[in-house]
Every structure is written in C-alpha cells, then in structure tokens.
Amino acid sequence: MTLAPPPAEQRHGLTDREYELVVEALGRAPNSVELGMFGAMWSEHCAYKHSRSLLGRLPREGARVLVGPGENAGAVDIGDGRAVVFKVESHNHPSAVEPYQGAATGVGGIIRDIFTMGARPIALLNSLRFGPPDPDEETDPTTAARNRYLMGGVVGGIAGYGNCIGIPDVGGEVVFDPSYSGNPLVNAMCVGIARHDEITLARAAGAGNVLLLVGASTGRDGIQGASFASASLGADSEERRPAVQVGNPFLEKLLMEACLELGATDAVVAMQDLGAAGLTCALAELTARGGVGAEVDLDAVPCREGGMSPYEVLLSESQERMLIVVPPGRVDEVRAVFERYELAAAAIGHVIDEPVIRASSGGELVCRVPGRALADDAPRYEITGSRAVPVDADLEALAGEPADASVLLDLLASPNARDRKPIWRRYDHMNGTNTLVGPGAGDAALLRVKGTRHALALSIDGPGPARIGALDPYLAGASAVIEGAMNVACSGAIPVGITDCLNFGSPETPLGAWQLERAIDGIADACRILDVPVVSGNVSLYNETPAGPILPTPVIGTVGLLEDRASAVPMIWRDGDELWLVGDPAGDAAALAGSELAWRRRRRGGTPRLDLPAATSVVWLLARLAAGGMSGAAHDLSVGGLAVALARMAIAAGAGAEVELEGERPTATLFGERCGRAVVAVRPADSERLAFTAREAGVPVHRLGRAGGERLSIRAGATRLAVGLDELAAAWGAPL
C-alpha cells in the first residue's frame, strides 16, 4: 500500500516520488523530524541530485593527489612531507538576503573545511559577481543601489571574518553583469598546509567511541538553510532571513587552534564540521563514510535558546561547531584541550556498529535513520538539455574598426576592468607573514611554504571572457581552467590541482541542463589536456530570480607550485625590456565574442573559439621560461585583451612602452579576449633564447616592442594609440 505524501508545504522540498523513496528507505512513513532530515540532506545543496552523475566526468586522480573529492577538502602533495589542502564553496543565496552574514559565514564554513582536515589555513580567496553598480540602459537606479548595497555587505562580511580570524585574503575577482542583479555570487576559497601524517578524515569508526560536539552552542539560526540554498530566489527572499547563519570569527579562531592542536595527536579518530543541515549532516556523513552508526542524546546538546525542539537541534546551522569522534579513554584529554581555549565539548552520544542514526530527546526516540540513506541514497536525476540558439553579433565589422585612445581608457575605467583596490584594501592580506605577492600585484597570489624554498601560487577565476558562458558554456568551463592555469604560470608556477565552483540556474530547464553539462565537459577536457586533477569543489544551482537565470558561471580555484620561490615572476617590466606576445595573436572576430568591448557595444553574440592544446602549451612554456630565468615579467591577457594588459603592466611598472602590431583587424588584435595568451618581458640578451624555447614548444611568439618612456604607444594597422601613464592610471583608478 502506497502512503499518501503529506502536503507540499510539509515535505521540505521533497517531491512526491522522493517522499516515496524516503518511505522505502525507512520501511515506514517518516515522522516530522525524519522528514526534515531527509528534506535537508536530499536538497540540491547537499545531495547534488542533478549534478552528481555529471561530476563523475571530471578527472580526479594524479601522482600528487593524496585526498580527492568526497572529503571536506582535497589534498595535494607539495614535497617535504607536506600537502596543500584546498576547496571552494558558494554562499550565494544567503548573501542575496543578508550580504554581510551570508558572506561572513561562507568564509567561516570554508575555513572549517580546511582545518577539519588537520591543515592550518594560510590563505583565503574569493570570486564575487554582482549586478552593475551604476545605473545604465539595463539597470535602473533602484536596482543599481541594491547592487551596491549587496557588494558593500559582502565585502564587509569577507573582511570582517577573515581579518578577525587572522587568515589573509590574498586574491580574487569581481565581475559585474545585469544577470547577477538580485542574485550575487559569493564563492570563497581557502588554502591550508598539513603534514601528510596529520591529515584527518571525516570517517567515524569504533563502536563505543564518543561523539563530542565542540565549539559554539546551538541556536535557531540557519534552520533549513540547505533547502533555502536549493531553490530559486523569489519575492519572498527577505522572509528567508532566518535561514541565514550568524558568524563569530573570534570563537572560530579558538576552535581552529584547538582542533589543529588535537589533529597533531592520535586522540581524534575523525572530525566533521557542522555546515549545511547542521548536526544531521555531520552525523550522516561521518557514519556513512565509516560504515557505522550513531546513538545521540539531543538533550546533551548545548543550546543557547530555551525550548528548542529535536527538529531544530538536528537541523540548526549555527556556525563554529564541530563533531569529533574520540576513544572513551581519551575524552578527558581532549576536553582539557578545549577547556584551555574556553570552548565547550559536550559528549552527545557514541558510535555503534548498526549503520543507523538513533537520536532521542526526553527519553524518547525521535529518529531512526540509516546514515547512508541520508548521505548517499538521494535520487540522482539524468538531466536533458537543449542547445541555445547561437546569436549573431556582426563582430567582423567591430573587429576591423580602427580604435583610438578613448576606447582603451573607456575599457580601463569599466567596472569589470578598473582597479579593485577599494575592495581588497579592506582585507588584511599580510596576516601570517607568508604573503609574497598579494592582491593587485600579480596574476596570482604568492605565499611561501615555511621551512622550505617552495611557494604556492593561488588563483580563483571565472571564464575569460567573462560573458562567454552566455555563448558557449563548454568554452566557459574550459577557459576558466585555462585562465586559472595561466594565472599561476605567469607567476612562474606549475598548476598541481584545482577546485571548482559551478554556479548555474535551474537544471530542470532544458537550457539550464545543457549549460551545466557542457560546462562540466569543458572543465573535464581542459583538465585532462593540462593533466591537472579536480580534487574538491561545490555546485550551486537555482541561481535565478523572476527576471531569469544568471550567466553560466563556472569558477576555478587553481593551486600552483614553485619549487624555488626565487624563480617567481613579477608583473612589473623594466626600462629596456623587450616585450613579447606569447600565444595566439587572436586578430580574428571570434576573439571578441563575449569580450568586454563587444558587451559594452551591445554586440552580445558571436561564436568564440579556443584551441585547448595550444593554450595548454602556453601554460607550460611560461613555467619553463620562469624556471630558465628568462621571464622578467609576465601578465596574462584577460578583460580588455592585449591593450588593457599592456596598460596594466605599464601602470604597475611606472614605465611606458612602444608597441607595434601587425594585422588587418586592429580592434580584434588589441581588445580580443581569447584566453591562453600572455605578455612576457625579457632582457634583450634573452630574446633569442625565448624565441628558440617557444619554437621548441610549438608556441607562436611575436615581438611587440620595448618598455620605457612616459607613455604607452601602440601602432596596429590604422590604429594609433598614445596615452600618458598618468592618464592610464586615472582611468584605471576610477572609483568603484
């Protein structure tokens, strides 16, 4: 006999069929507590129902991989018995409703993912997307004001949490587009260092081992936040404010130090932070991974509010909490550590052999659920998409137009290209004394690995061009990978691992399904050609408002390794350096597809192209040039193309350049944004060696000119640009 499902508003987002699967998993109808647990754990945010089968296409193995997807974060070997541990997470929906706390708790959550692994966090990065901050033809003043409010709150939340906990925020990106109005993207990445033998996994084991809930007390904030993050934003979004968590970075600092101290001992069997779905998720994932169960007394959970129900205790997403598995004989030792940091450590239950989670309150059983059913048995949906119809934009005419200095200055001053100092100066990027290159000073952040000669090059970036996802989501995924690899390679590093954050609209529409699948395929193909694994990541779907979905936005966090940090490459050229374009000159109309120039000219179509093997060859050539001491400076071509890249380097160096280019399409040559290209500066004595090395690698290079003087002068066909450094700096420094 099939049980009738409860009314839709009581199913916590579960469909009729999903409710039937819950009944099958339990062998009976769920009670209200169990239904809430399944609703949270089977939400898109936790279960990846529409993306999990696609994520299996990503390469996740490699010689350096120590821990891949499936744990709290990925870990990659960097030599000397050390590993870099890293992951990126989204906090988009909470930030749309309560930007400060949404962003702050996103930072707090990703930090816990890293130190849960036994790694000390050394760096934060972020990728942010907002609607236009200024009114224009597409954005009315009220919407622009709302976008500025969201940006201010998000930046404040990131700064407030990261600065207080003492982890430097060293890099990131900010992109503006009307599609993000009302649905900003807040993707936070954290990077840590651990010794191989101190990496801690989230796998409960050992019947009788004690479950310690440590850190903050449990409140009513964030209940059903996972379900909130799995639905499109609508007119009722402000009413969902209680689903947003509230953070306490000072408490998390204490929690981090205590957990890291314990992680260096053998007193801890497993550790799991309480993030989405709170205690329910921590219990489910710990037991499912370990093939065991748990018996829990909810009355033993420290609560900061009176009268909390079992439902609220199990599903609260209050921040700064960890669940730790400890042998009975070590409980006093572990508690003593937390007491020294003035943190609570409550024994709320123990591990059992039977693979179920049994929780009681007031002496009565309130749930009996198999952990695997919650964590692993959510339905998986095979999505079916329909390709978007290509849009023509007459880019041939634009590509051949001559350009003057006003075009360059307009692009430099555009919201997507101008100086980000008003944002990153709010972050303390020197915390920890490891930062060698911080935000704004290079294509990637550079941090030393203490006790070694190594350095890590870190980047988080979306597709280049930024709007390419609207035209070809496959190339959006592929170019995001190449963009990240180029960033670390321009710093002299080799990419060793990536983490991805996939931000898309609804996968239940034909267009949304197609965009998601094609972007994942693009990431997979680019990673295989680069031979770089995806070791962790996050999927954020249903990013849309009544006005429509966001642009397809795959974001890639890239970690690169410099064996010797003395070989790091800056972005600043020197007087007399010869300037070379490394890679495809891209003087064709397709290079403008999705570019900042085309978008500002309302040419929002075209068919972009990207030669992945050729772009990959550029990445490895840049690393080879750095290792050989040939690169005096390097900068990849992204927003605004070659002209803006030259301007950025000139501003950074305080020295101009004389540049001459060939080609019949000067605008495409100067402002095309095809990724996988870079400007490299070398001393004249090294020019022949650079050209020879490039020929060996099969990479085209073109001599551009020479650095020096007080202005940037460019000749490209019929185009003549000559702009003084002060004028360039004034445009780029336009207030954000």
pLDDT of residue 276: 86
Domain at 390-413+569-736: CATH code: 3.90.650.10
Count of beta carbons in the 10 Å neighbourhood of residue 513:
22
pLDDT tens digits, one per residue of 110-122? 999 999 999 999 9
pLDDT (average), residues 448-473: 95
Is residue 308 within 8 Å of residue 220, measured between CB atoms? yes
Q: For tokens 């169990």, what's the residue?
A: 34
Above 90 in pLDDT, residue 490? yes
Above 70 in pLDDT, residue 242? no
Task: Check: pTM over 0.75? Answer yes or no.
Answer: yes
Above 60 in pLDDT, residue 400? yes
Count of beta carbons in the 10 Å neighbourhood of residue 430:
11
pLDDT of residue 302: 96
| Among 12, 50, 91, 635, the one annotated catalytic | 91
Above 70 in pLDDT, residue 432? yes
Helix (H) or strand (E) holding 598: helix 596-600
**What's the rounded Cα separation, in Å, for the pair 286 and 99?**
31
Is residue 480 within 8 Å of residue 462, measured between CB atoms? yes
pLDDT tens digits, one per residue of 334-352? 999 999 999 999 999 999 9
Active site residue 91: yes
CATH topology assigned to domain 44-375:
Phosphoribosyl-aminoimidazole Synthetase; Chain A, domain 2 (3.90.650)
Percent of the chain whose pLDDT exceeds 90: 87
CA atoms within 13 A on the CB side of 350: 11
Single-letter residue type at 630 = M
pLDDT of residue 138: 85
Active site residue 93: no
pLDDT of residue 9: 53
Peptide bond into 465 cis (omega under 30): yes
Task: Read off the pLDDT band of 3 (50, 70, 90).
Answer: low
pLDDT of residue 402: 85
| Among 12, 45, 429, 635, the one annotated catalytic | 45
Above 70 in pLDDT, residue 231? no
Q: Which of 141, 112, 136, 137 is nearest to 124 (CA)?
A: 112
Q: DSSP 3-state helix, strand, coil percentages of the chain (rounded to 5)?
A: 40, 25, 35
Above 90 in pLDDT, residue 12? no
As annotated, the residues of the chain forming the CATH 3.90.650.10 domain(s) are: 44-375, 390-413+569-736
What is the 3-class SS of 393-453, one letter each residue?
CCHHHHHHCCCCHHHHHHHHHCCCCCCCHHHHCCCCCCHHHCEEECCCCCCCEEEECCCCC
pLDDT tens digits, one per residue of 359-368? 999 999 999 9
**What's the rounded Cα separation, in Å, for the pair 490 and 676?**
11
**What's the rounded Cα separation, in Å, for the pair 439 and 427?**
9
Above 50 in pLDDT, residue 233? yes
- Write the DSSP symbol of residue 71: B
